[in-house]
Amino acid sequence: MDRAQFQEALLSVMERKVHWAWPRFTSGKVPADRLHIHLEHEYGVYIRDFARLIGRAYVQCPIEAVRIELAENLYEEETGRLTRGRPHANLFLEYPRGLGMDLSRFEHVELLPAAQEYRRTLDALTSDHGWEVATAVTTIFVEGTPFERGELEDGAPKRPAPPLEDHPLVKHYGLPVESLALTKVHREVEGDHRASAWTMVLDHVPPARRTDVVAGMERALRGWLAYRDAVAEACGVQRAA
């Protein structure tokens, strides 16, 4: 697999990181009294521990240039001191706080079985398959979107960035715009993070490991889709017949 084929294989995974239920979440069709299920699971499955997942890639990596990029990402996730001065996991909790949810639920999240399995998959991929898979899964798959091609190719659509007032939680559920601190941070740093992620993986993963990285990304995608199916069902969202 040459570099161009490797890039295309990774982009193919990301362009399939699309879930059938997401338009229901973004259009306000999820009952407000079940929305907490989605937020709790995003927090419990990966947001709370995302810095630790990146840290696993960092400690396994022998390449200084990659470690520097991972360290900067980890530092911002864990401390927020490059932007808002608060850990990103704490900023995430401004969403449920602004919606008036019971934050004690986020201290002991009860994960659905498919969510538990997805988290086990993330743990395995970041612990047991080398820095290459760990780096790709955390910085490209978990942090990335179906619009990754727009980060690499001129003319390809980039991740949408509508006005904060049009954020689904604001527009449909009454979240104060001031509670979108994490969204604001992501918009400030995401361009650099996307470029860094692709540089680390495309420039430094050796050819002999490219197939393993793509396999890890495919495994992450399967786990993510099953996880999102379970959350949608728990939120009362049914797939159209």
The Cα 241–Cα 239 span in angstroms is 6
What domains can be seen in the chain, in order of their start residue? 3-233 (1.20.910.10)
* pLDDT band (50, 70, 90) for residue 84: low
Q: Evaluate whether 180 touches 91 at the Cβ level (below 8 Å).
A: no
- Rounded Cα distance, 116 and 162, in Å: 32
DSSP-derived letter for residue 136 is I
Each residue's pLDDT tens digit, 209-234: 999 999 999 999 999 999 999 999 99
For 64-77, what is the mean pLDDT? 94
What is the residue whose two structure tokens read 């840290």?
A: 55
- 111's CB contacts (< 8 A; 6+ apart) are 41, 44, 45, 119
* DSSP for 139-177, written as a single string: IIIIT--TTTHHHHSTTSPPPP---GGG-HHHHHH---G
Interhelix angle 210-234/35-42, nearest 10 degrees: 150
The rounded percent of the chain whose pLDDT value lies above 70 is 97
Average of pLDDT values for 173-192?
A: 86
- The mean per-residue pLDDT over the stretch 11-33 comes to 96
Selection from 171, 167, 148 nearest residue 158 by Cα: 148
If you average pLDDT over residues 112-117, what whole number do you get?
Answer: 98
